[in-house]
Amino acid sequence: MTSRAFFDELRKTFPADRLLTGSAELAPYESDGLTAFRSRPSGVVLAESQGDVVAAVKACHQFNVPFMARGSGTSLSGGSVPVKDGLVIALNRMKKILKYDPQNRIAVVEPGVINTQVSKLAANDGLYYAPDPSSGPVCTIGGNVAFNSGGAHCLKYGMTANHVLGLKVVLPDGEICRLGGDSLEMNGPDVTGMFVGSEGLFGVALEITLRLLPKPEVFYTVQAAYDSLQKAGDAVSLVVASGLLPGAMEIMDRLAMDAADAAVNANYPKDAKAILIVELEGPAEEVEAEKGRLHKIIEQSGAYLTEVADTEEKRTVIWTGRKSAFSAVGRLSPDFIVQDGVVPRSRLGEALAEIDRISSESGISIANVFHAGDGNLHPLIMYDGSTDGALEGAEEVAGRILRMCIRLGGSITGEHGVGLEKRDYIEEQYGEADVEFMNQIRLTVDPQSIANRGKMLPSQEAPSLKSHGAHPLEKQGVISRV
């Protein structure tokens, strides 16, 4: 149990209305988007400034209390489930855009800024922020940094790590450091890239310097319908092999389309087993030259119906349907697990056929909606949590899919992180020696293992507290203390 002295220390910084300890106050923080995992923290602090975050982290370090920083809680891997008896540092109130420089195409934001707000700010200058997770209207930049979020357009533009230039962070011992800067051209090791996607194991981001891109001049969005999911998957390999690099390539199966239709009236073809959404974008001349090649490939791939979004309204309908798919599946099933494995694009059709076989053998329905361009699968495994053994059956199916991804040369996660859900599979992908090396890096930064303890890496007892001094990474010249 967390000591009274720890809370007395927190009360020096946080008034009663920003230090939550009551049962009802803590309940909303028990889980994230993957509600199958739940844990109650001992307290929640509502941070409003960088000083608040630093004070909370220092208190946790002093009293050896584990902590977890949380944004909107949209994680789908259990990555933002509280550490038992630990502290949640809620960052939603830290939503200032600290600097906006359209000339140099950067924005410096606090971790609680909502993803889509950055693009809205930059729109008048013809700029935008490229990573576009489906939860973009609600998820925070801090959470995107923690899980290296992607989105539909990550095929062409990359993940969050490709768009974060620098960070101001507080390490688990309370030290404040700057990583990276405001330019793509940096000397030395890419510690910023190491922090992005670390799921909070290295501390908390206080300021995030984002790279902005010019908005594409033209979008050309094509929706192709297929009579089998495997044909749609194989079409992706044909597009990539042709040398085209679309901004996005997405696939939805029949179940996902039915859910999206019911939720947002997306009006997908009623008899299609799968649809492929391909979006070309860029200079008008380039897109015009690529149109014909794309249509020829889609025709060769066996699509029986091709529709072009010839207005912005039609394009919006297509993407609204795709991005609503996760939440819309709730109309088909009271509970579901969203998986996040990756397979090589060349084996995408094979993977989809295997998922269909697993669904048939288990008797568990699986809706498929995913970033086809980079082989990032998002099978939605449906179950009814009120039925005994249903969750366990769904988790077994999820495990079979993850092991398939590893067997085909892929990964257990593309953008949702490892969190709690996939932690037990990480050694199957990397091996014991690799995981031990990751643990060594983590313990170099966080000797007490208090930062989001138990996530991503296999659980490990924290060693005894080391004497205070220069941080090991500072000694190596990798980070700079503020």
Per-domain boundaries in the chain = 4-90, 97-215, 218-416
pLDDT number for residue 223: 97
Cα 255 to Cα 471: distance, rounded to the nearest angstrom: 51
Amino acid at 470: A
C-alpha count within 13 angstroms, C-beta hemisphere, residue 116:
8
Q: How far is CA 337 from CA 77, 180, 346, 392, in A?
A: 9, 36, 26, 11
Cα 18 to Cα 87: distance, rounded to the nearest angstrom: 13
**What would the two tokens of residue 113 be?**
């800024």
**What would the two tokens of residue 177 be?**
């450091």
Amino acid at 377: L
- Which among 418, 415, 419 has a CA at the least distance from the CA of 152? 415
Enumerate the H helices of 125-196 as residue ranges: 141-147, 154-157, 191-195
β-strands 87-90, 164-170 pairing = unpaired
Amino acid at 409: G
Token pair 């981001």 is at which residue? 205
How many CB atoms neighbour CB 62 within 10 A?
A: 14
Cα 414 to Cα 159: distance, rounded to the nearest angstrom: 10
pLDDT number for residue 475: 41
- The CA-CA-CA angle for residues 102, 103, 107, to 5°, reads 40
End-to-end CA distance of the chain: 33
* Phi, psi torsion values for 238, nearest 5 degrees: -65, -40
Cα 208 to Cα 166: distance, rounded to the nearest angstrom: 6
* Phi, psi torsion values for 411, nearest 5 degrees: -140, 160
pLDDT number for residue 189: 86
For domain 218-416, which architecture applies? 3-Layer(aba) Sandwich (3.40)
CA 206 remoteness from chain centre: 19
Full-model pTM: 0.91
- The CA-CA-CA angle for residues 393, 357, 229, to 5°, reads 120
C-alpha count within 13 angstroms, C-beta hemisphere, residue 168:
15
List of E strands, 254-323: 274-282, 305-308
Pick the CATH number of 4-90 from 3.20.20.70, 3.40.640.10, 3.30.70.270, 3.30.43.10: 3.30.43.10
pLDDT digits (tens, 9 = 90+) for 106-158: 999 999 999 999 999 999 999 999 999 989 999 999 999 999 999 888 889 99
- Which among 234, 330, 245 has a CA at the least distance from the CA of 276? 234
Residues of the chain with pLDDT under 50: 461-479
Pick the CATH number of 97-215 from 2.120.10.90, 3.30.465.10, 3.20.20.150, 1.20.1250.20: 3.30.465.10
Cα 227 to Cα 360: distance, rounded to the nearest angstrom: 18
How many CB atoms neighbour CB 210 within 10 A?
A: 26
| 203 CB-near residues (< 8 Å, 6+ apart) | 57, 169, 170, 171, 172, 195, 445, 446, 451
